Structure 1
């Protein structure tokens, strides 16, 4: 084997190992056909915060677009008017999701909800103890399991799954109010997603303030529900100011909801 062939073989073997490592941390889209130039960004993404971008929908066709702060600021006022801002997309720790720009509200404008389903087992939803809840990123799937299991139920006076229902009902914009309907599939974030929101709360708040020019959008000192199940009595919650994760009673704790979505 020539020196050139040996070098090519070593490069191929090294790339195979890099691909395996990236797939192991969640990047299933990375294959041996992927460009090696992508790998440094993926490594940064796996290790921590890669970036945050404003998630928008283009008014003309409702297509999804993403802009960094610099890219958004480079747009002319006329071009900015071609988009409606949907939320803030964060890419960190191999995860990527969109955070709603504001909290969820009920029809009476209250902003706190029960989780619901006290005493009920939810098929397909496994209990997460203290260790596993930090790596739970199945918010969308778990939200649908909660909704399916608790639809039409009444648990000690709490109907259905109020927190999950509030998350999926969230709209960043509406046809009546904005001329465009938000078709995003919002969900109740998992405990792992909530921990990412806490970990980068200051950066998230800086971006929310920059893109929406309002402190009312910020992540604040409140407890928020997650979709992560603990047992038939409790679900995981997170204080986004302190990062304190604790379980609270599904039917007696009125807590806040911040919807998230896949990007």
Structure 2
């Protein structure tokens, strides 16, 4: 199938909600839907997490990370981890699991390499977004991390679909940006019941318009994306800031600067990135 025709076909299916998830991904999507229920309380969330050993291990690990354990008191139980993290952070971990599962289904070596780099990029963006939200823009940090985790989920879905014909992903990155990214991404995000605020932030990334100094969740996500040391392999936007050029981004924040805050928060960013990469 022609590359553009493939994008358009999958985009049309995504728009209709006709998404083909592997069995393990479908199970995680159901878990995400359960956690999205407003009546899902901590005890229920803990039971759901305990049913998935991998998710349980990651929940404990992130609860003990520098970003969530500033007192230095380590915990070993899932229930304690859920209490410390809250349901919204658990949703982020489940979203991360879904994204990783989509990548793990890929058999083609070239697409596997793209999925690996895309996840490294995603983990860095999520960790940076959490810190930037807390220290700079003062939007909700957990929501910012969640937005960072899901901002490339459409790309992961596309890579998994391309496994039967890897040539689909071998053209110019701009073709993916123009004909697949927003359409497919929006369909996958809708399927995962992503909150409207997060949807708007991801859509702001597709528009590529970021204010400095940043103010909104969308600005937070865009700045984190620019600052991520590992770029997305799926596209290089016209006018996008390279990781090298992004190091020159700085502006005053109160009595400090962005670069000073990022230096102070380096351990937190590294801790979160490490946990997400597990």
TM-score by length of structure 1 reads: 0.29
Q: Kindly indicate which of the two structures has a greater share of residues assigned to strand.
A: 1
Larger Rg: 1
Structure with bigger RCO (C-alpha 8 Å, 6+ apart): 2
Q: Kindly indicate which of the two structures has a greater share of residues assigned to helix.
A: 2
TM-score by length of structure 2 reads: 0.28
